[in-house]
């Protein structure tokens, strides 16, 4: 069987990237950065080698010739990308009626609404398949590969990739060697035959990476220096206590059909609350006592030496055989490390409140975390998702070195599970082609009654931690211009009914429910005390507001309010009359 949805995925990605980078001018600058960096590095090499070209060795001429070929190729590619982006700019201006001045402030939901409600001229796109009908179709196409990986990680089929190289190997073997968007050749194979092809591809790619590993590591180190060099130089004193979301955390927290910019925005907002949660746990008292003692002794030593030796800060003053300026720099570093071990003003002693604030944006609260947010075990588990930057960088370096061995010895053994999942949960959509079955949300086929679903689903088909239900709610709240089908509205209505039956919202209820809060610039709240019991009406009201926003001629007096939804929680209480089997 072979299915070709045309170039729909390619064109939608170009439209999305145009929105993410905020217009044509920014994209032109980005495409010109590659040739510019190559030119600067080549010029730097020429300056180091001298300007007497006749004295150059043969290898220097080879390096210069290779750099010139690379620069010419980059310029040709940049010009080609500029031509494509110019066509996308014309599509935005002529078809979607969006001017460049609007790109900084317009929302992705508004662009999708205009794209789905307009007839795109064939000269702007080469799509041969029918046009998408809803944001579900568009996002299932845009996040095709991510949906498969999120689902397999959620079901425990594969471990989250811990480095760029591991993720690239996983994507290349699954989505480019044995399965492609233009032709699904492997869906007709039996799972065990597909598993053998996956195993062979994993072994071959791992051997190729092992051969090229020194060059790959050098390129990765250069990328890390470019990415984190300025941060290390400017915030070196905060490196031991600053944290970031790990790759494992990002893959576990991502929803199905979630746009990358929306996902990263969620994590940026949750970063403050996650950092505050971790800081609720002070270090053992003996560590703080030792740190205070070291700070006191170093300060006393510096003061006494300053009194005894006037002009101690000059470079000609030596402490033994070492300049005191060097000793002083080491002592200041030790003081900074000790200060980072002491609790600051952020310590409040309320881990539960900080965790609940974090969950509002991460949408992640496993069952074994409930009512145990104050324990060290939960803190350690949370730090696997939100770890120190230094540890994150070190683990990324180690994961890069171990990437080929991970594919050869771990992913090879799980090739059978990967093939079985891909063959079982791949559906051919008439619009977007082969996609993950979980990304087709219109019918709520994989929603369980435990999390607000309507039809019982077997355990081997459902995702853990209510991932499917939260993804549906997240999609509804981020695309208010979309009218959900009746099945989704019935699921939301079931959650509303549960919210009405629990008028008092305390910490125990918050940690056990899927709920939505709303913050806006007026006094209206989402139902009583801001819970789920009015989300259905608010979604339809916001849809009407979005219609007026996109078509002001329909309602000149209307001024849409700024509405922000935040989703959190884990699961609904089990209904004794409904079975999960």
Of 466, 546, 423, 470, residue with least CA distance to 257: 470
Band (pLDDT 50/70/90 cuts) for residue 507 is very low
Q: What HEC string does 92-150 produce?
A: HHHHCCCCHHHCCCCCHHHHHHHHHHCCCCCCCCCCCCCCCCCHHHHHHHHCHHHHHHH
Q: Are residues 399 and 449 in the same domain?
A: no
pLDDT digits (tens, 9 = 90+) for 150-200: 999 999 999 999 988 999 999 999 888 766 555 455 666 677 888 888 899
Of 297, 307, 243, 251, residue with least CA distance to 273: 243
Band (pLDDT 50/70/90 cuts) for residue 57 is confident
Mean pLDDT of 488-515: 58
Q: Are residues 43 and 88 in the same domain?
A: yes
Q: Are residues 269 and 149 in the same domain?
A: yes
Residue 262 counted as domain residue: yes
Q: Are residues 188 and 305 in the same domain?
A: no
pLDDT over threshold 80, residue 58 = no
pLDDT over threshold 60, residue 542 = no
pLDDT for position 186: 60
Mean pLDDT of 400-428: 90
pLDDT over threshold 70, residue 569 = no
pLDDT for position 157: 93
Two structure tokens written together for 428: 């051919």
pLDDT for position 170: 92
Mean pLDDT of 478-486: 85
Rounded distance between C-alpha atoms, residue 62 and residue 49, angstroms: 13
pLDDT for position 321: 58
Phi, psi of 505 (to 5 degrees): -105, 110
pLDDT digits (tens, 9 = 90+) for 206-259: 999 999 888 888 877 777 777 776 666 666 656 667 889 999 999 999 999 999
pLDDT digits (tens, 9 = 90+) for 269-299: 999 999 889 888 876 666 777 777 887 777 7
Q: Are residues 208 and 188 in the same domain?
A: yes
The 10 Å Cβ neighbour count of residue 348 is 12
Task: Let me know: does 210 contact 357? Beta carbons within 8 Å.
Answer: no
Rounded distance between C-alpha atoms, residue 76 and residue 181, angstroms: 27
**What residue has token string 């039956």?**
501
Residue 357 counted as domain residue: no
Mean pLDDT of 309-316: 50
Residue 25 counted as domain residue: yes
Residue 289 counted as domain residue: yes
Mean pLDDT of 388-412: 89
Q: Are residues 266 and 403 in the same domain?
A: yes
Residue 367 counted as domain residue: no
pLDDT for position 230: 64
Query: Which long-range contacts (C-beta less than 8 Å, at least 24 apart) are formed by 540-543?
Result: 540/483, 542/480, 543/480, 543/481, 543/482, 543/483
pLDDT digits (tens, 9 = 90+) for 111-164: 998 888 876 544 444 444 467 778 888 999 899 999 999 999 999 999 999 988
Q: Are residues 520 and 559 in the same domain?
A: yes
CA dihedral 278, 280, 286, 290 (to 10 degrees): 70
Residue 405 counted as domain residue: yes
pLDDT over threshold 70, residue 383 = yes
Greater confidence (321 vs 478) lies with 478
Greater confidence (245 vs 502) lies with 245
DSSP 182: S
DSSP 175: I
pLDDT for position 513: 36
pLDDT over threshold 60, residue 75 = yes
Greater confidence (303 vs 400) lies with 400
Least confident of 67-71, 146-150, 416-420, 500-504: 500-504
Q: Are residues 139 and 254 in the same domain?
A: yes
Pairing of strands 322-323, 318-319: antiparallel
Mean pLDDT of 359-386: 89
Q: Are residues 1 and 118 in the same domain?
A: yes
Residue 321 counted as domain residue: yes
Least confident of 130-139, 344-353, 517-526, 535-544: 517-526
pLDDT digits (tens, 9 = 90+) for 80-94: 999 999 999 998 988
Pairing of strands 243-245, 318-319: unpaired
Rounded distance between C-alpha atoms, residue 368 and residue 391, angstroms: 25
Residue 374 counted as domain residue: no
pLDDT digits (tens, 9 = 90+) for 339-369: 766 666 555 568 888 898 899 899 888 888 8
Q: Are residues 187 and 151 in the same domain?
A: yes
**What residue has token string 């926003």?**
549
pLDDT digits (tens, 9 = 90+) for 408-418: 999 999 999 99
pLDDT over 90, % of the chain:
21
Q: Which among 109, 128, 147 is the end of a domain?
A: 128
Q: Are residues 211 and 266 in the same domain?
A: yes
Q: Are residues 15 and 115 in the same domain?
A: yes
The number of folded domains in the chain is: 4
Which range of residues forms the domain containing residue 293?
285-340
The 10 Å Cβ neighbour count of residue 397 is 15
């Amino acid at each position: 069987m072979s299915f070709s949805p045309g170039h729909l995925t390619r064109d939608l990605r170009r439209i999305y990237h145009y929105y993410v980078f905020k217009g044509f001018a920014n994209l032109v600058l980005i495409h010109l950065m590659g040739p510019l960096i190559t030119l600067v590095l080549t010029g730097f090499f020429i300056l180091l080698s001298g300007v007497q070209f006749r004295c150059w060795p043969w290898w220097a001429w080879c390096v210069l010739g290779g750099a010139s070929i690379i620069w010419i190729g980059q310029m040709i590619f940049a010009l080609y990308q500029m031509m494509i982006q110019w066509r996308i700019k014309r599509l935005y201006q002529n078809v979607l009626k969006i001017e460049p001045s609007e790109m900084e402030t317009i929302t992705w939901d508004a662009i999708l609404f205009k794209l789905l409600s307009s007839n795109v001229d064939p000269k702007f796109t080469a799509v041969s398949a029918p046009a998408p009908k809803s944001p579900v179709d568009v996002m299932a196409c845009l996040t095709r590969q991510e949906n498969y990986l999120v689902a397999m990680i959620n079901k425990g089929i594969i471990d989250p990739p811990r480095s760029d190289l591991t993720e690239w190997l996983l994507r290349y073997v699954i989505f480019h060697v044995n399965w492609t968007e233009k032709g699904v050749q492997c869906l007709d194979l039996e799972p065990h035959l597909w598993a053998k092809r996956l195993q062979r591809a994993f072994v071959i790619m791992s051997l190729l990476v092992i051969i090229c590993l020194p060059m790959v590591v050098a390129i990765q180190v250069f990328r890390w220096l470019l990415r984190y060099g300025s941060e290390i130089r400017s915030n070196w004193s905060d490196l031991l206590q600053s944290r970031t979301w790990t790759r494992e955390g990002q893959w576990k927290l991502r929803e199905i059909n979630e746009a990358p910019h929306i996902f990263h925005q969620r994590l940026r907002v949750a970063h403050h609350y996650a950092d505050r949660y971790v800081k609720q746990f002070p270090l053992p008292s003996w560590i703080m006592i030792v740190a205070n003692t070291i700070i006191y002794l170093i300060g006393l030593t510096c003061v006494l030496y300053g009194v005894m030796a006037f002009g101690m800060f000059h470079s000609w003053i030596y402490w033994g055989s070492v300049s005191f300026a060097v000793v002083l720099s080491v002592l200041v570093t030790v003081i900074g490390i000790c200060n980072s071990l002491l609790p600051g003003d952020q310590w409040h002693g309320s881990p539960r409140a900080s965790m609940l604030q974090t969950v509002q944006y991460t949408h992640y609260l496993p069952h074994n975390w409930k009512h145990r947010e104050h324990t060290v075990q939960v803190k350690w588990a949370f730090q696997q998702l939100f770890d120190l930057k230094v540890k994150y960088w070190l683990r990324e370096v180690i994961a890069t070195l171990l990437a080929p061995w991970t594919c050869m010895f771990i992913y090879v053994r799980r090739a059978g599970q990967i093939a079985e999942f891909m063959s079982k949960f791949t559906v051919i959509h008439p619009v977007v082609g082969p996609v993950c079955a979980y990304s087709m949300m219109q019918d709520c086929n994989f929603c369980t009654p435990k999390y607000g679903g309507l039809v019982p689903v077997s355990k081997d088909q459902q995702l853990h931690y209510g991932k499917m239900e939260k993804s549906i709610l997240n999609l509804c709240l981020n695309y208010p211009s979309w009218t959900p089908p009746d099945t989704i509205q019935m699921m939301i209505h079931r959650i509303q009914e549960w919210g009405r039956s629990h008028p008092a919202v305390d910490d125990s209820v918050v940690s056990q429910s899927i709920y939505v809060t709303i913050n806006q610039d007026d006094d209206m709240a989402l139902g009583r005390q801001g819970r789920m019991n009015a989300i259905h009406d608010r979604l339809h009201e916001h849809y009407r507001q979005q219609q007026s926003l996109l078509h002001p001629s329909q309602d000149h007096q209307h001024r849409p309010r700024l509405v922000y939804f935040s989703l959190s929680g884990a699961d609904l209480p089990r209904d004794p009359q409904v079975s999960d089997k």
